Every structure is written in C-alpha cells, then in structure tokens.
Chain A
Amino acid sequence: MDFASIDPTTVIYNLMIAATPILFAALGELVVEKSGVLNLGVEGMMIMGAICGFAISVETGSSYVGFIAAALGGAILSIIFAIMTQYFLANQVASGLALTLFGLGLAALLGHSYTGQVPPEVSKLSVPVLSSIPIFGKMFFNHDFFVYCSLALVFFIWFFLAKTRLGLIVQAVGENHDSAHAIGYNVTKIRFFSILFGGALAGLGGGYLSLIRVPQWTEGMTAGAGWIALAIVVFSTWQPWRLILGAYIFGGITILQLNLQAIGVNIDVALLSMTPYVVTIVALVLMSVNRSKKSIGAPGSLGKSFIKVL
C-alpha cells in the first residue's frame, strides 16, 4: 500500500469543494432551526437551487447570475413551506417532507431540456500573496469565490446571531415563542423570513453542486445531500463555527475513503459512512448531559407551531 500517493494538499483541497454545498445548505437550516422551525425540505430546496442556477446561467452565460437564481429558486420553493407552517399552521415535519417530494419532482420537470448542457465555467480566485504559500496556498487560497463565500457566511451568521439585535430576536423566537410574542415580537414574520433565508442558502448549495462541483444538471443529482446538511446542523449543536467542522468531516469521510480505496486499502465503506451519524448522536447526548451551559442545545420551540391565541 502506497500511502505516499495520497497527497494531503489535494485531499484537503477536494474536501473543501465537496463540503461547500452542504455547508451552504446547513447554514441556512441553522438559521431556520434557530428561529424554532424544523424544515425537512432541504433536499427539495437544494435541487430547486441546482436547476434554477443551472438553467439561468446557461441562458445568461453568467454563473454569478446563475447563483442568484439558485438562491431565488430555493427561496421561492421555501415560501410554500413558510405559508403552510406559519399561516396554515400545518405540521412542520410533514410539510417539510412534502416539500422535498414536490421539489424533486418539479426540478426534474423544469430541468428536462437542460441535461447535457454545459454551464459557463467559474474561475478560481487565487488570493494574491497567500496562494503562493507552499502547500497552504494550494489547499486554502486557490478556490473559487463561493468557497470563500461559504466560509464568510459562517462568520456573518455567527455575528448576526450572537451580536446583532435582530439575531438575538430570532433566537428568542426559537427558544420560546410564547414569551417572544409576549414581549411584542412578531413570531410569524420572523420565522417566515428565516425560512426564506434558509431556502435561499439551500438553493445556493444546490447551485454550487450543479455549477461548480459536478458542473452539469442531472435529475436527482443532490442524491441525499440535503439530508446530510440536516445532520450537520445537529452535529454542530447549532453553533455556526462547528458547522465548518461538521461539513468538512462529513465531506471529508467520502473523500478519504475514496483515497484509501484508490491506494488499495480494503475498508468497510458502510461502516465508515455510518460513523459521522454515530458521532452526531454521541455529540447530541453529551450535549444534553452537559446541560449546565444553557446556551447550547436545540432551540426550545424547535418544530412547534406558534398559535397566536388572542
């Protein structure tokens, strides 16, 4: 076995690309869950983003316009979920599952004429100076714009949730919607826009998949990425920074096992693919055992409908 032929630089480089779509989607879902809503429709919103982004960038010739369309596609689909759960008070779990079903079907119909097309290429943005550092330069500073964008978003979302008034309101709404309402916040409206934001980011994740990571459109191309994004949010224990760790571990395991296989190591792929989920459960348990730190853990009102009784 020739471990030397695994080049850590390229492994980490590929891992970052593999993790970016799920990082986008997970960031969106994190904000949604922080506001107390569980949207299981991530897969559906991602694939809508994938086709909208792809179609628009093929039509306009600009991948950046495509990414905007991807975000819009995801957000527009999420409006259905937002209206159902916030105004019609439908159960979130059931609505999210229905959204995935609907999104997968709709994307396939919309994408019918786009299979086999080639999207405009997205150039790499080498960070000046930094990208010429040996090893680290290639690993971290030679990516496309959206990899940096996803990392920057982690910072912004952390900043938004922890440091801004609106962010704290979102969290308050998610923690206890009745008290938040009593204080005078408009729970429904805040959740509505959180859901839209989550949809937009899931859409961006999908767009990254169809425009950069694979670059092509194929029916059903998300192949479960949305579900992994959901798992990562849990893994991160709702801490934006840990999302990076989660996304890179989940993405990394695939890349790592492919690398090990390529050099001829006999590994149990199923067992290896299970581990991140087991780790996630262990993390959840540890977190709930260690309840002394009140700030961590699932938002108190997660998944519950807010019923305004006057």
Chain B
Amino acid sequence: MIKLTPRNNQSKILIAITPIIAVLFTMIFGGILFWVLGKNPFEAIKLIFWDPLMSETFSDYARPQILVKASPLILIALGLSVGFKANIWNIGAEGQFIMGALISAGIGLALYPMENRLIFPLMVVCGTLGGTLWALIPAILKSRFNTNEILVSLMLVYIAEQALASASIGILRNPEGSGFPGSRNLNQYPSASNPELIAGSGVHWGVVFSILTVWFFHYLLKNHKFGFQIKLFGDAPRAASFAGLKSNYIILLCFSISGGLAGMAGMFELTGPAGAITIDFNVGYGFTAIIVAFLGRLNPIGILFAGLLMALTYVGGEISQFMLGIPAAAIQVFQGMLLFFLLSIDLIVKFQLSFIRNKHISRKE
C-alpha cells in the first residue's frame, strides 16, 4: 500500500522535472495516437513542440504569437489562482471575460466615431469593472447567504453567453455589416483600438499587462503579507479568523481580483486580436485558464509557463494540421492527454510516497 505524506518543502528539482516527464508521456502516447492515424509521429510532435519555437519558417512569427495566445490565459489564471489558494472557487471566468468585453465594447461603440486618447483607457477600466461586477454576484451571494460560489459562477457563464449572443445580433450589431451578427471592428476605430506595439509581432497591451501582472503577483504573494493571509485563509480558515481576517472581505477581494482580470483579458482580446464582438467571441479562455492555473500550481511563474505551454500546443497544433493533415480532433485528444499527465504528476511534487507492507498498520492504535 502506498502512503502519502505531504511534503513541507517541495523539491525544486521535482518541480522542474515533473512537467518534463508529463510532456514526455504525452509525446509517447500522442505519438502512438498519430501513428494509429497514419501520420509520422516524430514529425507530428516536432511540428507541435519544435517548429513554432525554433523552425526557420515559423518561429519569428509564432514566438510572439504564443505570447499573444497565452496572455489572456495567463491574466485570467493569475486572478483565479489567488482565489483557489484561499479555497474560493470562481469557475465562471468565462462569463466575466465575456462581460468585460461586452461592457467595454458598449462604451467604446457608444462613443463611436469620436476620437479621443482617453477612450481606450476608459474602456480598459470599464472592461475590468464589468468583469468585477459580474464576479461580485457570486461573491456577494456567498458572503451574504453562503451560497455555493462554484455553481453560481458557473450558471452566470451561461447567462453571459446568452447576453453575448443577444448583443451581437441586437444592440451591438454593426449597422454597416450587411446584417451579419457581430459588432463594428474596433481595430478600425483608432481611439478604441488596442494597437500592435511591435510591428509584425501582434503583441498588444494585453501581453504587456499579463507579464506585468505575473511579476506583480510574484512579488505580492512572496513578500507581502497579503500572500500569507490568502494562504492562511485557504489552509486554516479558523486560524485566519483568529488572526483577524474577515472571511467576507477575503471572498469579495478574491472574486474582484479574478473577475477584474478576466474582464480585462476580455477587453484586451476584444480590442486587440479579436477586433469585434461576435456570437462565438469567447473561445473558452475562461475555462482553459482554470486548467492553466492548476498546471502552474497556482504559482505566478508556474502559470506563466503553463499558459505558454498551452498556447504552444494551440499554435503547433494548427501548424501540424496544415503541414501534416492531422485532424483537429486529434489535436484536442493530444491536449487532453497533456493535461491528464500534467495534472496527475503533481502528486509526487506535493506528497512523499512511501510503500508500507502491512496495510493495517494505521489501525493499530
């Protein structure tokens, strides 16, 4: 029988080496999958993991694109991780992402075609607020009535999706868009556009913000008492209340942070890469970010790497599709495997495994 003992000090080597083992496992099983599908497994895996980063053809473009694809994931996951540490479960980031985008689009389009430098910053603020307000619904219900926040935040995703659909065929529909659903393209409205900061790279303000936020959270959680409070609240809520921490305050704060960052991510995605509100504007960033938060072990630096790895599989997956004719579904399965292995392997980071011969040993006393 296997006995688990939580590790007090997680080994740095294990933290670094376990994701590599997981990726290796994925390569083996994914390779088998590609082989079954009649594709060269070595070439497929090379196209997914190597080409976007290193090949002459793709890397110049793909490297910054990985950052662009990863930035909403990282931004949202960072916010979520604070709550997760404190045992507060916001799984509705997808909805907050949508609301952030919708509110900022509403503000931006209401001002169209006025040109003013303040419009974009105003939209950033409104998007962040939109996400925060949407996240505050489960937070207030949780703090006031102790309503389960997992479920309320999830329900609010569905509501936000309906609101998005309604807005894209209704009030936000582009009056010059030949009647197709979807709003005006904000990239063509200079004051509301989230410009490319380095020509040809696609890197926009969202990327800058997400990297700054990684740094900020890293600092905050390590050096500031806030980090300690969050951890205490999550690990030992009783002790936290003795220490004078109000649980309502922590709940509202965690939801505001995660909702705000999700809303901000939605806003940057809208004004930058996406350009316009459409019915399918949300492509699952809010849900994928939950996975990213856990892959990153709720640690800001870890989340940065996890987000980049996820983005790499998206970008590499597309390359492998048109270079090798691998179906999109196979890429999904491959990503699923990667997540399974990465999530499972954490066990040996968190716990010391030891084998006991007598399985009744624990009952003796």
Contact = CB atoms under 8 A, between A and B. Distances in A.
B348 to A, nearest CB: 9
Secondary structure of the B contact surface, majority rule: helix
Contact of B156 (A101, A281, A285, A291): A281
Interface in A72-94: 80, 83-84, 88-91, 93-94
Interface string B252-287: 000000000000000000000000000000000001
B291 A98 contact: yes
B330 A105 contact: yes
B166 A270 contact: yes
A94 B328 CA distance: 21
A303 B150 contact: yes
B343 A101 contact: no
A231 interface: yes
B262 to A, nearest CB: 15
A95 B329 CA distance: 19
Nearest to A107: B329
A307 B291 CA distance: 21
Contacts of B344: 83-84, 88, 90
A219 B343 contact: no
B151 A219 contact: no
Interface in B140-172: 141, 145-148, 150-152, 154-156, 158-159, 162-163, 165-166, 170
A108 B329 contact: yes
B311 to A, nearest CB: 15
Contacts of A256: none
B343 A274 contact: no
A102 B151 contact: no
A90 B346 contact: yes
Given A98-B336, A101-B332, A298-B148, A277 B343 contact: no
A243 interface: no
A310 B151 contact: no
B294 interface: yes
A290 B4 CA distance: 39
B329 A109 contact: yes
Given A94-B339, A102-B340, A108-B327, A277 B158 contact: yes
A99 interface: yes
B44 to A, nearest CB: 14
Contacts of A83: 344
B364 to A, nearest CB: 11
A289 B145 contact: yes
Secondary structure of the A contact surface, majority rule: helix
A273 interface: yes
A307 B3 CA distance: 10
A106 interface: yes
Given A89-B350, A104-B332, A97 B166 contact: no
A287 B156 CA distance: 18
Interface in A243-298: 268, 270-271, 273-274, 277-278, 280-281, 284-285, 287-289, 291, 297-298
A200 B344 CA distance: 23
B339 A101 contact: yes
A148 to B, nearest CB: 30
B107 interface: no
A16 interface: no
Question: Which 8 A-B pairs rank lowest in CB-CB distance, beginning with the nearest?
Answer: A102-B336, A105-B332, A108-B329, A270-B166, A98-B339, A105-B333, A88-B344, A90-B343
Interface of A: 38, 40, 80, 83-84, 88-91, 93-95, 97-99, 101-106, 108-109, 219, 227, 230-231, 234, 268, 270-271, 273-274, 277-278, 280-281, 284-285, 287-289, 291, 297-298, 302-303, 307-310
21 contacts: A84-B340, A94-B343, A95-B339, A97-B290, A101-B335, A102-B333, A102-B337, A105-B333, A108-B329, A219-B329, A234-B154, A270-B165, A271-B166, A274-B158, A277-B156, A277-B158, A277-B159, A278-B159, A284-B152, A289-B145, A302-B150
